Structure 1
Amino acid sequence: MSAYTVPIAERLQHVSEAVAASLDLWSISRPAKVTLINVSENATYLVEARDCRSIIRVHRPGYHSRKGIEQELAWSMALSRDAVLVTPAPIPGLDGDFVQTLDSSVLPERRYMVMFEFVNGRQPDEREDLTGPFERLGAIAARTHEHSQTWSAPAPLERLIWDDAAVFGRRATWGNWRDAPNVSREIRGTLEEAEKLVRARLNAFGKGRDRYGLIHADMRLANLLIDGERTYLIDFDDCGLGWFLYDFAAAISFMEDHPQVPALRDAWVKGYRTVRSLSEIEEGEMDTFVMLRRMALLAWIGSHIEAPEPQAMAPHFAAGTAELAKRYLDKF
């Protein structure tokens, strides 16, 4: 039976049971409690043992290869090793490998798992003033971009590509945005105009080495942990090749129409320029990347509609995306 014919609640129960039964792959004291804390592309679990806490990420089947996951971990560890930023360290299994395999007779396919050190911190809340965190985030983004230009990435790089073909192409990573809920004929017409404009402007913008390379690709609030003056960047699962400015667009995911976004954009740019140059031309194109990311998220909602988060956003997300598209078309 395919995993996708099983209701998500039942499937997650199977995964949870398999994770609990797989703790012997690592050196973990017993007893240990396993709690599901997040479901998105992957399922994330908190492991509470007698003497420590850790995080296990169970990868969605078919999203990344084992080598691709190892490359993600290599970059995140290099960023910490080179003092670019602090990232939670992966914990090797008893066999010395960071990537472990989740095998279960109940699950229809094997899945990959990674255990990470637990780090203290809180996620920023969009209801608070985020200008300070976004200024720090801009600097973090710039440091990761500088590092990606000098780091000797493994070859061939088996990571995702976040360009216009990945969002709008026939084999789009998250599917066709037209298949998302509540995309009416009128909304579809508006978004098709926006897609044409985004693709044209990105083609003119180009993929020069100074603006395109290895990026985190998901620097949104859910992937930041703030502990005093220290900000941790977590979850490099979507890292891959893309435009550097895509990292700003990802930072405002699901809140693109929030009233404080203009201030957050200014704060991000200010922080970025403390580390790395950002031309006026690049700054002027940021709306294009916001539109690209927003339409990718619309497709993501459609292709992940069985999960709670997409279901909650589905009723109004298409209409909100069309409103953003109208403003984008009017501007350019």
Structure 2
Amino acid sequence: MLYDAEFLSRLTNGVKNLMPIWNISLNADVTLLTISENATFRVQDKTPGRNLIVRVHRPDYHSESEILSELAWIEALRRDGIVATPQPIASRDGSLLQRFSDGETVRHAVAFEYMPGREPDAESDLAKWYGMLGEINARLHGHSRDWNRPEGFIRKTWNFDRILGDGAYWGDWRAALGLTPQGKEILERTHALLETQTAAYGYGADRFGLVHCDMRTANLLVEDNRLGVIDFDDCGLSWFAYDFAAAISFMEHEPFIPDLMAAWLEGYRRIAPLDAEHEAALPMLIMLRRMQLTAWIASHVETPTAQSMGTAYTDGTVALAARYLAEHS
């Protein structure tokens, strides 16, 4: 249980002790917002009226070079007007990456400006926002192709092996909560089919590059007619179309997903062409992502997201896989 109460208390104190380097009062309010791969805090300093978001990284996931590479891309995207996303905040000495000691472990922390807004939900017009998200993805992918990455840039690669294979970053789907022998057999066949299909789809420069890789609703902020995108923590090299698969994370089974896909495709094509081959790859990438998240839940049982999904998500994955096999084998 990585994120137990004692651990979160230590992280909170570590964040509080960093306040002076961002010119924030030591008596500022520090509130835990979310726990996923990382712990994210909101800092509210009433005296200068400053609000920050501080992300404390999960240990042994990203290296310092990977974190700084993420921030370099964010700054480039902001500079080039590609997407509305919070600005990373430097400390007094100009550094973006901070450290604090947690016993014998060094924790990494990054601060961002606070972006107002709310998460879009199924009760709102999700299709509208996903149409705008398609436009954002098209601009982002164009930037990804054209951007000259700085020296030392490094991010994880989300290919088949790192998503579902022996080298999967988020664990083995076979450890899925409540997985039955019958369900395992269905997922084994789906795994084999996806491995063949992704190999055939390939890794060419027209389809594989630097992507956000986690534009799910929890990482979108809407205010009036603005759609902001946060949390580039999982950005890396993957299929461009995987951005849509990631955007419907944890709701792949919902009946409105075809409407979101149609809106996303329409929005994307308002900005850039998208070949029929890449559109046809979307169901494959959605199934790939669903199985990846099933493994993530099993390997992150201490997080609120995993606990809220539980065995029901595994059952849903098996049902989606059975349908996928029937339609795509």
Band of TM-score, shorter chain = over 0.9
From 222, 229, 245, give the equivalent of 2:225. 229
Query: Matched residues in 2 for 1:9 and 1:325: separation?
Result: 37
Per-residue CA distance 1:111-140 (angstroms, 9 max, x = gap) = 110010001111101233310000000110
From 250, 255, 258, give the equivalent of 1:259. 255
Per-residue CA distance 1:262-300 (angstroms, 9 max, x = gap) = 100000000011111111121111000001100110010
Residue in structure 2 matched with residue 149 of structure 1 by the alignment: 145
Is 1:271 the counterpart of 2:267 in the alignment? yes
From 22, 35, 42, give the equivalent of 2:18. 22
Check the 8 A contact 2:89/2:112 in 1, yes or no.
yes
TM-score when normalising by structure 1: 0.95
Query: Matched residues in 2 for 1:129 and 1:228: separation?
Result: 13
Check the 8 A contact 2:219/2:229 in 1, yes or no.
yes
Q: Which amino acid aligns with 1:86?
A: A
Residue in structure 1 matched with residue 57 of structure 2 by the alignment: 59
Measure how far apart 1:52 and its partner are: 1.3
Measure how far apart 1:27 and its partner are: 1.1
Report the secondary structure of 2:277's partner residue: helix
Q: Which amino acid aligns with 1:171?
A: G
Identify unmatched segments of 5+ residues in structure 2.
none
Residue in structure 2 matched with residue 327 of structure 1 by the alignment: 323
Residue in structure 1 matched with residue 90 of structure 2 by the alignment: 92
Is 1:78 the counterpart of 2:87 in the alignment? no
Per-residue CA distance 1:217-268 (angstroms, 9 max, x = gap) = 0010000101111111110000000000110000000000111101000000
Query: Matched residues in 1 for 2:281 and 2:241: separation?
Result: 9
Residue in structure 1 matched with residue 7 of structure 2 by the alignment: 11
Most deviating of 121-130 and 145-154: 121-130
Check the 8 A contact 1:226/1:232 in 2, yes or no.
yes
Q: Which amino acid aligns with 1:330?
A: A
From 114, 120, 125, give the equivalent of 1:124. 120
Check the 8 A contact 1:134/1:268 in 2, yes or no.
yes
Measure how far apart 1:7 and its partner are: 6.3
From 310, 314, 317, give the equivalent of 1:318. 314
Measure how far apart 1:22 and its partner are: 2.1
Query: Matched residues in 2 for 1:175 and 1:34: separation?
Result: 32
From 34, 38, 52, give the equivalent of 1:38. 34
Measure how far apart 1:41 and its partner are: 0.3
Query: Matched residues in 2 for 1:156 and 1:169: separation?
Result: 27
From 108, 111, 115, give the equivalent of 1:112. 108
From 187, 196, 199, give the equivalent of 1:200. 196
Most deviating of 207-216 and 159-168: 159-168
Query: Matched residues in 2 for 1:102 and 1:309: separation?
Result: 26
Measure how far apart 1:188 and its partner are: 0.6
Most deviating of 151-160 and 13-22: 151-160
Measure how far apart 1:21 and its partner are: 2.0
Most deviating of 210-219 and 273-282: 273-282
Report the secondary structure of 2:121's partner residue: coil
User: Matched residues, percent identical?
Assistant: 44
Q: Which amino acid aligns with 2:68?
A: E
Query: Matched residues in 1 for 2:18 and 2:278: separation?
Result: 47
In the alignment of these two chains, the number of paired residues is 326
Measure how far apart 1:169 and its partner are: 2.0
Report the secondary structure of 1:161's partner residue: coil
Report the secondary structure of 1:113's partner residue: strand
From 157, 161, 166, give the equivalent of 2:162. 166
Report the secondary structure of 2:183's partner residue: helix
Residue in structure 2 matched with residue 307 of structure 1 by the alignment: 303
Query: Matched residues in 1 for 2:299 and 2:182: separation?
Result: 21
Q: Which amino acid aligns with 1:250?
A: A
Report the secondary structure of 2:73's partner residue: helix
Query: Matched residues in 2 for 1:39 and 1:7: separation?
Result: 8
Check the 8 A contact 1:65/1:158 in 2, yes or no.
no
From 275, 278, 291, give the equivalent of 1:282. 278
Task: Indicate the RMSD between aligned Cα atoms, in angstroms.
Answer: 1.3
